[in-house]
Structures are given as structure tokens and as C-alpha cells.
Structure 1
């Protein structure tokens, strides 16, 4: 048995030796019979597969992401206007309760205010009575003054007659002097009547002031009485309710806060660089749209708004600027003052830029573009914004293909085989797409040349999706000059 195994092993080794000798003889024969030109021909250049896409000019509206806090710009602190005991309270006078404008919230004991109002009304009635009496008194004084004036005229006429009679010898000097004394006496009475009229008029003025003071006192008492009932001045939500029924409150004591849920704004901070992007040419803040996101577990609540103003001062130790944006919310909004939210501010649109994946550029903005003979060239792009997995760049050759992923084996001068990335539609942030081609960058093809280019594309080995895109471009009335030259150059290299 051992002899048989050894014999089989020997035969196996002998067969292996014969195979090795045969393979070596074949390689030697092939080397001797191959032409010298073929042996000296250099090996073919190696090319690499790379994902490519076309640099397209677009208009993009970047966004600034910040974090802020919701606050209310319309908050009223309800306070007691008078001293007293709370005798009535609404069922809605609780923390978080919604109230309507004009709703009664609570009432302070009106007994003292009612007593003050009655006293003020009584004083006003007395003042009005005094005024009426003064008006009647001035009427009597004016009538007496008029009668006294008539008596003065009569006495003067009598004096004149006595003087005429004395000149004719029918009267004596004693009678004339008697009439003069009578005139002087009646003049004194006239002066007294005038003084009575002046006093009566001054009394009317004093009673007018008393009536006005009484009316003011009545109005003040009515106001105090009305303020014993606290009502909601506007629709809102109650907060910090700190009183109970039966408690005695003092003047100016805080009762609760009333917050208007529709008057909300967000306060957030941005860096100095971000703030500069939100300024217009005149240095004023632009009213840019704002989106506020509140995270409630797995659910997110959003609200839109508008950038409104900048904080008056920069806080000590802070950098950048603090901004305020008003929110467009309804009364049933979920947002509340104090909520911490994410704020997304839309910047002014950037025109004539390109969107690239982050993997297509280095940190300093160098990208690889496809040149002649499918060789890569390295160009410097200017990075304007970094947005998630995308870059917004400028100063790039629009219309040329670029490498979407800078793999370690790719570099300037490397030949590649293009593998276009599938198109997924227009990104949401793109506002409009506008090629920057001038009239000198497009050509009008004659039918023969167009047919020749289409035939070259049909015969090429490029992927079907890219081939269909290029055929569609060639069928347009005006075709990019760079595209035509690239297709013709590839056809010349294959020829």
C-alpha cells in the first residue's frame, strides 16, 4: 500500500515538472518569434474612472443659520389701581388662560369708590347751585345799577334847572348847593352799584371754577370706580397670576401679565461677517426673509418672518450683532416667549456662481477640470459659502466638466474616463439658472456639420445619459462653441 502511494506521488510530481517545462518552452518560443517592434512598443497609458459633472452658472440664495429666543414685544402688566378686597374673579383668570379684549378678569370691592363718587356728585351739585344763585344775583345788581344811573341823570337835570333859576333870580344859592349835594350822593350810590356788579361777576367766575373742580372730581371718582373692575385691554394669554379671591390688594400691586401671542419676535446673534452680508449698499439692514424652527421632540414647528432691526448696543464681551425679526403667527400659535429656536436667514441672491459638492474641492478651493485628451487640469476657484455638503464657488470656467470626487489617484495631467453623475433636478436653494454664454460663445450649425457631429456622438462609447444630453444640446438652434470643438477634437484623436 505504501508503495502504491509513493508511486502516485512520483507520477504527480513528474507531471508537474513536464507542465513547467512545457510552459517555459512556450514562453521562450513566443519571445523568439515576436517581432522586434512589438517587443519595443511601450505599454498603453493607464486611465482612471472619475465621476464628472458640468459647471453650470446658477443664482443661489444662501442661508445663515443661527440660534435665538422668542420674545413678545406686546406684554402688559396688570396692576391694581386702588386699595380693596377682591370680591369677584373670572374663571379664566389663571396662568395660560386665553382672554378676549373687554373680558372682566376681577373686581375690587367698589364700596369706597362709590362713596367717593357720591361725595363728588354732591359737591358738584352745590357748586352748580351757587353758580345759579350768582347768575340771579348779578341780574338784580345790573338792574339796580341801571336804576341808579337814571337817578343820576335826573339829579343832574335838577341841578341844571336850579342854576338857570338862580341866574334869573328865581332861586338861591342854598338850593343849588342842595342839588349839588344830592348829585354827589347819587354818584356815590352809583359807584356802590358798580362795585356790586363787579363782585357778582367775580362770584360767577369763582362758581365756574368750583363747578369745573366738581366735574373733575366726579370724573376722577367715576374712573376710580371703573378701575375697580379689571378688564383685558386686548386679546392675549395670562401669565404670572398671583392673587386669589378675597385677598386685599394695595394700589399698584402686580396682579398678572397679559401677553399678545400674535406679537412675537425672535432675538438672535450673528457674526460680524454674516451681518455684513445682510446690509444694503447704503449700509442699512435689508428686510430679508427669516424662517424659525422650533424642535418639539421628533416634530418641528416652523414660522416665517422678516428681518426688522438691529440691537442698539453691543453687549460687553460679545462679538457680532444682535438682530430682531418679527414673526408672522396667529393667535393659536405654538410658539411662546422664551422658546429657543433655530433661525434661518436668507441672504441676498448670488448670481453667476456654481454649486459643487464638498468632495470636489480642496480646503483652499482647488478643483480638477477635464481638459484636452481627457486629461485633468487643476484650477483655483473662489469659495463664497459652505452650505452643508455643498460649496458655492465663483471664478470657475462654466460649461466645462469637473471631477466631483478628488480621489487620491487623481491629479493634474492624469487621463480619466468620464462617468457623469446622474442629475437629480434643481436644488431647492437655486432661484434661477442662467448660462453666462455671450453671443460669441455660441455658433449656428449648418445641417451637414450638425449631422456629422450627431453621427460622431452616436458612434461614441460614452454613457447613454450623457450622450442623450449632448444630442439634445446639438439639436438646439444655437450650440455652445466649446461643445462643438470638444466633439470634433475627440473625433480627430480617434482618427
Structure 2
């Protein structure tokens, strides 16, 4: 108990209380307290404790130090700013795409047969030139077939020549028969005149008319023979054309036993072996054009909308019409090295991708791209030039409110101004607003920002 009393008596609060009591003793209130204390000696202990508790509370309230109200100081907000400078700018839209061959040839076997010759270069990844022999199918059956069709054609040609010569001979005989008929006709006229004069007998006129009828019959038969030969010649000509077409088919099939590359390019998807039996129409590989490369990519719907005629502004309508033919930059990253190529936007897809919302586009690469090693299937970066925006301000996204306002510093106070967002450049907005050149714009908004705040520029 003594230790507890010793602890409290040594405490700073206790010492402060004793000092205050000593000061109160010297006042009239102190005299009153001393007199009451003397009287309390006759009061029971419990009442005395209550009295002293109330007394100490009063002493603490009466002796508390007086505090004076401090004047309210306006808070100064530190802000980061950028200087407003009007510029002309053409942003770049960065998209990723894939290189593909704009021309591709499927190599198919048009005939059924066994592979008897296979070019060693006809393997995946190898470069082959147009017209080079890739493989050969056994030719014996097709050679025999061609020889047979050629013989049929020669036979048909010989018959046709024979008929034509016979027609020429028959036409000459017809001419002779016509002359004989004319002579007989004149004899009939002459004998008829003599008979009418009584100088010849009627028997003679009958014999003359009989000879005329014979000549006439011979002439008609010659004409019939000529007509038949002309019809046979037409039939034989048709048969000859048929034989010629059959021979052409046979020769085509014979030529198709040798499969050649239709273009310059790289071989892909080949799986063949010497002696393998191929079926008609079976695909044996692909040739991807080495010169005609293009990049396929998807332009976001929002960006595409700005390039269309209806959504483009008046100053950019001419550029929107010239979307096809726009020159793009293609970047191919090879580790730490980057190769750049020029490409021309050649066509736009007919439909939007419902999954990504993008518009499919194709850009044709220059021919030197393949010479530098670029191949189909490469993943590349497409730099798409945007419109040229004139007299705009470039601001970071965090400097613009959701309601399209910015804050400028005027006389160390914030002023809110409305803006028009006309474009984007990476993570920055391109805006137009009534801003004075060189004016300070808050570059980073903060919570509770509002017009009229006093600020300090960092």
C-alpha cells in the first residue's frame, strides 16, 4: 500500500494538482475550502470522500488553462501542370497482324498413278521456281492412250481427204453430164423442127427424146452423188473434230503426269514418298507465293468508324475516301532487331468480326520483303496513320474528366473549361478548347478537385 501511495505521490499529475491547491489556498476560494475542511473532520469518512471528489473536480475545471481560437488557414493544393501548346499532329494507330501469302497454289494430282519421279526440292520450306518439275506419275498407260487417239485421228483425217477428192471428181462428172444434157436438149429442138417440116420421121424425134431423158437421169444421179458426198464430208469433219478433241484430252492427261510448280514460292504441307500411289484429285502440297505477301489485321470498330465517310469530320472527308491505298508501316521484331517495311492498304473485308468487333483489312507488302527473310505466318506490328489534326492540344488521359472538362491555373486558382476530344494518340487525348497559348493545365486530377481551389504549381 505504501508503494502504491508512493507511486501516486511521485506522479506528475499529482504534483501538478498539489501546485494548483497551493495556489488556491492564497485566494478567498481557498479560505472557504479550508474552513469547510475543518468542518469535515466531524463528518463520516464516506461523506468526506465524496466531498473531496467533487472538490477536486471543481478545482480541475477552475484551474484549466485557457485556449485561444486559432484563425482558419486556406489549404493550398500542390498540382502538376503542363504548358498549353497548339500543334498539328498525325497520330499512329498500332495494331498487330499476320503475314500471309496473297497467292497460294494447291498442288493436286489430276490422275491416278504411282509416283516414279520425285524432286528432292519438293519438301516443306524449300523455295521452288515457277515451271520446275515437282514429281512424275507413271506415263506408260497415258502414252499408249495418246498414241491410240492419235492413230484414230489420222484414220479419220485420211477418210476425210478421200471423200473430199471423190467429191471433186463427182463435181467434174456432174459438169460433163450437164453438158451432155444440154446437147441432147438442142438435138430434141432441132429434130422437132425437122419433123414439123416433114423432113424427118416421128420415130427419130422419139429416139432423140429418149436419149435426152437418159442424159437428164444421169445428170440428176451425179447431183445426188455430189450431195451425198457433201453430207458425208460434214459427218467426217465432225468425227475428225471429235477425234482431235479426244487426242487433246489424252495429250493433256499425258502432260499432267508431270506436276510442275505454278509459281515462285515456298513449299508447304508435303508428305510424299517415291512409289506412292496417288488418287485422282489428291492434294500433295501447297506453294505459297514468295513475292506477293500481304498482312492481315483487324482495325478496331471505333477507329474504322472515324475513317468512314459518314463519321468523318468535314476536314477529313477527303482522307476518308482515300482509305484504300493508304501507306502503312510494318515492323517485324527479331529479338532485339526490328525490320520495317512499307505496305499499301489493298482491300477491306466485307463483314465485321462479331467476336472482336474489328474490321478485317489487308495490306500488300513490297516485293523486297521476302528478300529480307519475311515469310508467311510471321507476327508483325502494323502502324496505321490516323488523320492529321490541326490546332489541337495533346493531354494525358488523367488530365481530362469523365464529363470532358479540364482545369487550368489562373491567378493561383483552378478554372474549369469544357473541351472537345477530337482524337487519341497512344494514351493521350487530342482536344480543342478555348485555352490561351502557354496557359498552365493541370496534368493529373485529384480527388475533390473543383473550380476555385487555391493551388501551388509544382
Is residue 357–residue 404 contact of structure 1 (8 Å, CA) maintained in 2?
no
The alpha carbon displacement at 1:384 in A equals 3.6
Deviations along 1:444-464, whole A, 9 cap, x unmatched? xxxxxxxxxxxxxxxxxxxxx
Distance of aligned partners of 1:350 and 1:333 in 2 relative to their CA distance in 1, 3 Å threshold: same
How far apart, CA to CA, are the structure 1 residues paired with 2:240 and 2:101? 46
Q: What residue number does 1:217 align with?
A: 246
How far apart, CA to CA, are the structure 1 residues paired with 2:322 and 2:97? 18
Task: Kindly indicate whether residue 94 of structure 2 is the aligned counterpart of residue 94 of structure 1.
Answer: no
Q: How many residues align?
A: 377
Is residue 301–residue 357 contact of structure 2 (8 Å, CA) maintained in 1?
yes
How far apart, CA to CA, are the structure 2 residues paired with 1:128 and 1:99? 43
The alpha carbon displacement at 1:398 in A equals 4.0
Larger radius of gyration: 2
Is residue 297–residue 360 contact of structure 2 (8 Å, CA) maintained in 1?
yes
The alpha carbon displacement at 1:335 in A equals 4.0
Q: What residue number does 1:175 align with?
A: 204
Q: Which runs of 5+ in 2 are unaligned?
A: 1-70, 310-316
Q: Provide the secondary structure at the position in 2 that maps to 1:101.
A: coil
Q: What residue number does 1:392 align with?
A: 430
Task: Kindly indicate whether residue 342 of structure 2 is the aligned counterpart of residue 304 of structure 1.
Answer: yes
How far apart, CA to CA, are the structure 2 residues paired with 1:417 and 1:315? 50
Q: What residue number does 2:98 align with?
A: 69
Is residue 370–residue 400 contact of structure 1 (8 Å, CA) maintained in 2?
no
Distance of aligned partners of 1:271 and 1:53 in 2 relative to their CA distance in 1, 3 Å threshold: closer
Identify which range, 180-189 or 205-214, moves more after superposition: 205-214
Task: Kindly indicate whether residue 271 of structure 2 is the aligned counterpart of residue 234 of structure 1.
Answer: no
Q: Which runs of 5+ in 1 are unaligned?
A: 1-41, 420-495
Q: What residue number does 1:332 align with?
A: 371
2:323 pairs with one of 286, 299, 315? 286
1:436-455 correspondence to structure 2 within 5 Å: none
The alpha carbon displacement at 1:227 in A equals 1.7
Considering only aligned residues, what root-mean-square deviation do their CA atoms show, in Å? 3.2
Distance of aligned partners of 1:318 and 1:391 in 2 relative to their CA distance in 1, 3 Å threshold: closer
Identify which range, 388-397 or 126-135, moves more after superposition: 388-397
1:192 pairs with one of 192, 196, 221? 221
Identify which range, 291-300 or 55-64, moves more after superposition: 291-300
How far apart, CA to CA, are the structure 2 residues paired with 1:385 and 1:161? 113
1:380 pairs with one of 418, 438, 451? 418
TM-score normalised by structure 2 residue count:
0.72
Distance of aligned partners of 1:63 and 1:173 in 2 relative to their CA distance in 1, 3 Å threshold: same
Deviations along 1:35-66, whole A, 9 cap, x unmatched? xxxxxxx9999988766543222111223333
The alpha carbon displacement at 1:181 in A equals 1.4
Task: Kindly indicate whether residue 380 of structure 2 is the aligned counterpart of residue 352 of structure 1.
Answer: no
1:104-183 correspondence to structure 2 within 5 Å: 104-183=133-212
TM-score normalised by structure 1 residue count:
0.67
